Structure 1
Amino acid sequence: MTIPFRDTITVRKGEELNREVLEKFIHESIEDAPPGDLEIEQFGAGQSNLTYLVRIGEWEAVLRRPPHGPVAQKAHDMGREYTILSNLHPLFPTAPKPYIYSDDTSIIGSPFFIMERRKGIVLDKEFPAHVPYQPELGKQISEIMVDKLVELHQVDYMKTELLKISRPDGFMERQVGGWIKRYENAKTEEVPGVNELTLWMQKNIPVSPKPTIIQYDYKLNNAMFSEDFREMAGLFDWEMATIGDPLADVGVALCYWADVADFKELRNELGNGAITAKEGFFTREDFLERYAKKSGRDVSNIHFYVTFSYFKLAVISQQIYFRYYKGQTNDERFSRMNQTAANLIEFALLSTRGL
């Protein structure tokens, strides 16, 4: 017997939605929503935007909103993510279909959008208890992860309107400068090696290949798999997607993709690293080799992109900690994110030295 895999929790205290007002909005705005009472649960794994399951009878959808409190400039833009999904879903169906966006803060207290509900298995820190793991499964999942990234990078962005919200020219230069500035804005303490790292990145920006659509947060726990793990049933968290350097996307994927050769501290910081380090999963080298073969791209400068991705992840961790430090969230999961940021900066420095 298959044991149902539960991916939602009771809504966390302080993150509740106004059920009555939201129910009225859904009934008035989404044609497919049936009459009936609204039920709300929360997806518990995320550490940035807040994501909820909204249900009326058998009908289900997903609502995304920014975190509570002040947020970094240009971050958590629900309208932008809705636009990305609206353009991308018809060409890349693995991205969920969005239903509606609203910037009316009287409904739930912030802008938000509602999209279709996908069902399947999301792998975070371990496999569900009902899934018997074999090394062949790790290889199968690894191949899907690489092939789906190649597929995304093959989507013709000229068939979308994403150029209206993207600037592919000078992408990496802006990224390096922008993320350094974000770090400075969220800094709460001095961390050894930051200046050395940022100078290295500024001096070593490579020439980018032809731009593509990039997801820019491509990792295992943003993907959903079918119950038999033969296909990717959904890919989520499109907040940072844009048209840019495809190798930046690969760098992010490799940054999150821990393998068996990694030291314990790095695997711990990568969260789902314990999964990709299992026997059967690709090593980073395997991942990169398959991507290069399938995409035909030169990956000889990937060293820079992985280093930058560690730094980018450090900045995101520091931004999350900054909200906790300023009392804008009481979520205890965030109380040590400054140490996570410092560790990732250390890993980035080791990466610049080829370690």
Structure 2
Amino acid sequence: MSMESINDQPTAVRDGEELDVAKVDAYLKSSLDGLIGTPTVRQFPGGASNLTYLLSYENTDLILRRPPFGTIAKSAHDMLREAHIIDSLKPVYDYVPGIVSICEDRSVLGCDFYVMERLEGIIPRQDLPKGLKLSEADTRKLCLNVIDRLIALHQIDPQGTQLEQFGKGEGYVERQIKGWSDRYRKAMTDDASGFEEVMAWLSENQPQDIANCLIHNDYRFDNVVLNPDNPFDVIGVLDWEMATLGDPLMDLGNTLAYWVEAGDDPQMQFMRRQPTHLKGMLTRKEVVDYYLDKTGYQVTNFDFYEIYGLFRLAVIIQQIYYRYYHGQTKDKRFANFIHAANYLETRCMKLISEHSDS
């Protein structure tokens, strides 16, 4: 099987998400030297938020990132901020692509967007590519390497670098609980769960910030790129839309919200979008234990961070569903998002009950 079939590949652009190729091409050729031909445009299938396209020129491939179509929250999908984070991170974290152009001219696409180098490799989406066969021991090795990239990110000292500008200082945990609670209430639809007990519990059980470092805020297997010649080697980390300075344990809680284990219930299995169910993958508890051992952080109970991560994921899902519910996007993938958001309330309440009993 060829490497091309194992590497992550784009597909045809989804209906309603087409780019004005002529305008993009003219803009890029006015700001970059050496581009040959007119690009073919394809779209990467992952993601329900910002949209990612492959622009294939005769002599190079480029990646374009733009916000979703339709009405979006004022603070969401800040493409300029995402591009500047990647650009500022590059000197101290060698797992991000180089930014080649940042466009604030909305006459090109009607929105801000940026263009970056393509990191070509394997992206572990819902399942590993069919051509990539890993033993249980190899799967564990891959899992640990992916976690190690997150730990490496959290150990970067932002002081004295451009990264200092991307956070608000102390009080991160409190801001997140209030902010995500407000976002959920604004994204409510008639068929949505209330989440009031969950929001109240989170508000009443907030720990102090354990540290203030750069956090990814959406760190998952399908946001890493693996070296096709050595699939244990993580050569890239993508999707920095929600990165900021904040508490690293909150970041880990966000990661675990997507971490579906082989023994999880059918509803959680249905939501799986990464291959964490495979034999050899760490369980959520093993991830926490490994992370704490590597970082030296002292935490007596991780329940708060896990429940926060699940609630935050529910808010993100509900925000996307809100756009579909109100006809702001026609993407049929989002029609059933309401069931996932409502299920996550049940899961949060179960963890809260178990926490109270312990």
Relative to the length of structure 2, the TM-score reads: 0.95
Structure-2 separation of matches of 1:327 and 1:103: 27
Does the C-alpha gap of structure 1 residues 123 and 57 become closer, same or farther in structure 2, counting only changes over 3 Å?
Answer: same
Paired letter, 1:158: Q
Structure-1 separation of matches of 2:185 and 2:193: 14
Per the alignment, residue 233 of structure 1 pairs with: 235
Equivalences for residues 125-140 of structure 1 within 5 A: 125-140=126-141
Per the alignment, residue 89 of structure 1 pairs with: 90
Equivalences for residues 99-118 of structure 1 within 5 A: 99-118=100-119
Structure-1 separation of matches of 2:312 and 2:348: 10
Per the alignment, residue 251 of structure 1 pairs with: 253
Q: 2:320, 2:334 within 8 Å by CA — same for their partners in 1?
A: yes
Offset at residue 193 of structure 1 (A): 5.7
Question: CA offsets per residue over residues 130-154 of structure 1, 9 Å max, x none?
Answer: 1123212210111112111110011
- Over 4 Å off, 4+ runs: 190-193
Structure-2 separation of matches of 1:261 and 1:129: 23
Structure-1 separation of matches of 2:156 and 2:237: 15
Secondary structure, counterpart of 1:40 in structure 2? strand
Q: 1:201, 1:308 within 8 Å by CA — same for their partners in 2?
A: yes
Work out which of the residue numbers 267, 271, 274 in structure 1 matches 2:273. 271
Paired letter, 1:349: M
Paired letter, 1:8: P
1:9 equivalenced with 2:11 (yes/no): yes
Q: 1:259, 1:276 within 8 Å by CA — same for their partners in 2?
A: yes
Secondary structure, counterpart of 2:300 in structure 1? coil
Count of matched residue pairs? 352
Does 341-350 or 78-87 show the bigger shift? Answer: 341-350
Structure-2 separation of matches of 1:318 and 1:354: 25
Does the C-alpha gap of structure 1 residues 263 and 22 become closer, same or farther in structure 2, counting only changes over 3 Å?
Answer: same
Per the alignment, residue 298 of structure 1 pairs with: 298
Does the C-alpha gap of structure 1 residues 18 and 136 become closer, same or farther in structure 2, counting only changes over 3 Å?
Answer: same
Structure-1 separation of matches of 2:184 and 2:18: 30
Structure-1 separation of matches of 2:345 and 2:39: 44
Structure-1 separation of matches of 2:187 and 2:309: 17
Offset at residue 190 of structure 1 (A): 5.6
Per the alignment, residue 29 of structure 1 pairs with: 31
Paired letter, 1:127: L
Question: CA offsets per residue over residues 213-258 of structure 1, 9 Å max, x none?
Answer: 1001011111111122121121111011000000011111122112
Q: 1:9, 1:42 within 8 Å by CA — same for their partners in 2?
A: yes
Offset at residue 2 of structure 1 (A): 2.6
Per the alignment, residue 263 of structure 2 pairs with: 261
Paired letter, 1:337: F
Does the C-alpha gap of structure 1 residues 270 and 205 become closer, same or farther in structure 2, counting only changes over 3 Å?
Answer: farther
Which residues of structure 2 form unaligned runs of 5+?
none
Secondary structure, counterpart of 1:338 in structure 2? helix
Equivalences for residues 1-355 of structure 1 within 5 A: 1-2=1-2, 4-5=4-5, 6-31=8-33, 33-189=34-190, 191-192=192-193, 194-227=195-228, 228-272=230-274, 275-354=275-354
Q: 1:193, 1:346 within 8 Å by CA — same for their partners in 2?
A: no
Relative to the length of structure 1, the TM-score reads: 0.95
Structure-1 separation of matches of 2:136 and 2:183: 40
Secondary structure, counterpart of 1:243 in structure 2? strand
Offset at residue 46 of structure 1 (A): 1.3
Aligned-residue sequence identity (percent) comes to: 34
Q: 2:86, 2:97 within 8 Å by CA — same for their partners in 1?
A: yes
Which residues of structure 1 form unaligned runs of 5+?
none
Q: 1:172, 1:245 within 8 Å by CA — same for their partners in 2?
A: yes
